[in-house]
Structure 1
Amino acid sequence: MLGTLDTAPALDRTDLLAEPVAAAAHALPRDRLLVAPIDPDLADTAAFCEAYDVGLEVSANCVVVAGRRGEVTRYAACVVLATTRADVNGVVRKRLDARKASFAPMADAVEQTGMEYGGITPVGLPAGWLLLVDAAVVAQPWVVVGSGLRRSKLVVPGAVLADLPGAEVVTDLGR
């Protein structure tokens, strides 16, 4: 399908999904959520794309952002194409109604999501989280994104990400 990835329906390979991702997969169209095993040492975007012949323009990154206003911290997950970076201090900070916004510390992101760092995905995020998806991601027929584990990747139509719980499509989220 994409590059040299060997995909299968995600529900047939729940062993390749983090627990919250596997639970959320049941609510998605079976033929629209695929998973592929990868070498966990190649999970980082640049190494993954090179090793599996996947273009950066169809690889999406999901980053966790923490926004603070006073004593209140709100979390958001942001999905942007690998050719861009999330506008954390502009678009995301404003959307979280925060004075300060930054990438969530690794330990917080892992604990809050139940996913491995470097494999965090928009599928199966905690209830109540804001999910910001760049319009360029939604426009892709298929994108590759984390599976919740470093040893696999999800392959999903970009439009499916726009329908996930808490999702908002944002123009120019990725810059």
Structure 2
Amino acid sequence: MRAPIGHFDHAVPAPDCLDELVRPVADAVRDWRGTTPAERIVYVDTDPEWADTATFVEHYGKELLDLSANCVVVAGRRGGETTLAACLVLSTARADVNGAVRRQLGARKASFAPMDTATGETGMEYGGITPVGLPGDWPVLVDSAVVDLPYVLVGSGRRRGKLLVPGKAFAELPNAVVLEGLGIA
């Protein structure tokens, strides 16, 4: 199979390589319910040493910079309650944590979750967190610019490998909320 974007030596429909994915991501692909068929989610094998965005696009295609999104885990707090959520924004932007995220979560304060919380609660590796396979009760805040793309490169749950996902599929994830202006330059 040829990857729909980028220059990858190994690309395969995600349902055909569940063993390459961490359990929460594999379970989400196996149980996929969106209108976009799961077979359109593509797993590409990549070198974990090149996982950071700048290095990644040098090796796999400069056009990927505008087609990549980062998934970050945030913690919103109000009183003694903490709500964990995920934000998906283009890699050329940053999540508006103190504005859009805080308002959407109804939090008094919002910040990036500590690394051990993000990895422990998701079952994914730091630097590879993806919105596919997050805990089912988490809000998944998705910037509208991500949904508008035909394909988006995101983490696979590990630092090795990435997922290529049709942008509109992110709007169909459990608890997804598409927001204008979630990602800011």
TM-score normalized with structure 1 length = 0.97
Question: Conserved in 1, the CA contact under 8 Å of 2:171 and 2:177?
Answer: yes
Relative distance call for 1:30 and 1:127 in structure 2 (3 A) is closer
Structure 1 Cα separation of the partners of residues 150 and 28 of structure 2:
21
Match of 2:60 in 1: 52
Deviation at 1:30, TM superposition (A): 2.8
Counterpart secondary structure, 1:165: coil
Residue type at the aligned position of 1:4:
H
Deviation at 1:138, TM superposition (A): 0.2
* Residue 8 (structure 1) aligned with residue 12 (structure 2): yes
Identity %: 58
Residue type at the aligned position of 1:12:
D
Residue type at the aligned position of 2:87:
C
Q: What's the Cα RMSD here?
A: 1.0
Contiguous gaps of at least 5 residues in structure 1: none
Question: Conserved in 2, the CA contact under 8 Å of 1:17 and 1:148?
Answer: yes
Match of 1:140 in 2: 149
The partner residue of 1:174 within 166, 180, 183 is 183
Contiguous gaps of at least 5 residues in structure 2: none
Deviation at 1:149, TM superposition (A): 0.7
Q: Work out the number of aligned pairs and report it.
A: 175
Structure 2 Cα separation of the partners of residues 80 and 58 of structure 1:
11
- Structure-to-structure mapping, 1:1-175, within 5 angstroms: 1-5=4-8, 6-28=10-32, 29-53=37-61, 54-175=63-184
Question: Conserved in 1, the CA contact under 8 Å of 2:64 and 2:153?
Answer: no
Deviation at 1:27, TM superposition (A): 3.0
Deviation at 1:75, TM superposition (A): 0.8
Structure 2 Cα separation of the partners of residues 141 and 51 of structure 1:
21
Structure 2 Cα separation of the partners of residues 144 and 55 of structure 1:
7
Deviation per CA, 1:6-28: give whole Å up to 9, x if none: 32101111232111000000233
Structure 1 Cα separation of the partners of residues 181 and 135 of structure 2:
24
Residue type at the aligned position of 1:7:
A
Structure 1 Cα separation of the partners of residues 163 and 57 of structure 2:
13
TM-score normalized with structure 2 length = 0.92
